[in-house]
Amino acid sequence: MAWLSETADPLRAKIITANTGSCVAIVTHAGVARLILARALGVPERNLFRMALDPGALSVIHFIQDGATVQLVNG
């Protein structure tokens, strides 16, 4: 899973920084979606696959200066 975080983490950080105060939609596969949710929740990578994400599901995360609030998963 290291390859996933090495690729996705810098992109996630770049998207968050570039879009402060904005609403952004990211369309991705479940692995990246799980990683983004895990980072927001402080879940270790070893537990990524304990999160079930349905195909085409919507998750909403509100990123703030010192963290994130997950508002919806699998909507």
Helices 2-18 and 30-41 meet at what angle, rounded to 10? 70
Query: What are the extents of the domains in the chain?
Result: 2-72
Amino acid present at 39: R
6-63 confidence digits (pLDDT tens): 999 999 999 999 999 899 999 999 999 999 999 999 999 999 999 999 999 999 999 9
